[in-house]
A and B are shown apart, each in its own frame.
Chain A
């Protein structure tokens, strides 16, 4: 399998990697770029744990061949913190106790970010829909919904 060099912007930085045609985006992010904040669950799009934001859209990175990300823009959980300060959504997850085991947290935070970027003041139903593709096996959904809601009410998002 001939490797190919691809280039994309990850968390604001342009990155080039050599990748094989069969590699999936989640593996390149974790294995080649060391961005292990993105977790791997089912590998078939059922659990949403590997969710990241690609070109402004929340996607399951286990389903996306890395070649699809060529020249794209990626945001992972590591990209939310700026100048040592956490993103408002992350702060609200902590304040509202929306983290239990933590395994779904990166995906949930990014789902909240993708939602609030498009819809700064969502209803409870819209928040539920936005996180509906991610399983939290601690079943801590209520606090997660509350944290995203708190973030939406906490003024301008960065």
Chain B
């Protein structure tokens, strides 16, 4: 009786095969062989709890973490490239990402807990496609892209075009494997910031996440580049385009920043949620976080003298 209870509690996962390919080609061949019943696992921090709750039909896992060459963070020309095995811990601590896209490092530092960040990959967080995901909102503001490979070849997709719904992307994860994330490196006169509102600091989903990227002219008089992303305020990660348009080309000043922040709040459509608070509250907080994000990015510009 007692033994039975323990066995029930220790229920193994349902997959029948755990495959460990040594190359991307081998991994793609394995996915192909299972015709939709195999999934890629890297960190596993999303797929394992999902499978435990009964995500059906996973016959095999293809563990890509032993494939060489997929764990680099590098600067290629003026593009920051992030391999699919880069973890949140690695992204959060990367000098390159902190210097050329700080918002992403900040977002990565807030996901889950240290234990989760040590194995969860940024690519997995993007592909999981939750509209408020901690690295997704910054990478969207940074004009990021994702590159995937299938047996038919490789393709790159702008994050702005990637999402089709909660947890849904245009990537077929039973046939395609992420080979790279990338974003244009921020340069002189540019800065970014990620803001997060949550009940506590660790192991909690955000009530709201906002990321901003700004660029200014050398005299720091006008906004020459503006990107504002927020989530979860819609079924997909959300770009606050009306707010961006208000700021772009306009003189830098508190009034216009407030006006843009209010526009961002108007455009956002957060649900009332038992976990995250009422729609009204969260809409109001979009404005607050956008304003703080822009102020933080401007302050970073001053401090870096960039």
Contact = CB atoms under 8 A, between A and B. Distances in A.
Contacts of B203: 46, 48, 132-133
- Size range of the chain B interface in the assembly: 20 to 34
Interface in A23-53: 23-24, 27, 31, 40, 43-46, 48, 51
Given A59-B119, A68-B44, A68-B63, A48 B113 contact: yes
A108 B20 CA distance: 32
Contacts of A4: 18
A57 B89 CA distance: 10
Interface stretch (B6-14, B70-78, B290-298): B6-14
A27 B10 contact: yes
A133 B61 CA distance: 27
A36 B112 CA distance: 25
B34 interface: no
A67 B48 CA distance: 13
Contacts of B41: 65
Interface in B1-45: 9-10, 12-18, 20, 41, 44-45
A67 B63 contact: yes
A151 interface: no
Interface residues of A, number: 33
A107 to B, nearest CB: 9
A101 interface: no
Interface string B64-108: 010000000000000000000000010000000000000000000
Contacts, number: 94
A53 B178 CA distance: 28
B118 interface: yes
Contacts of A64: 44, 48, 119
A20 B12 contact: yes
A130 interface: yes
Contacts of A133: 112-116, 202-203
B13 A65 contact: yes
Nearest to B43: A63
A21 B61 CA distance: 9
Given A132-B113, A132-B202, A63 B119 contact: yes
Listed from nearest, the 4 A-B pairs whose CB atoms lie closest are A133-B113, A22-B12, A22-B13, A21-B18
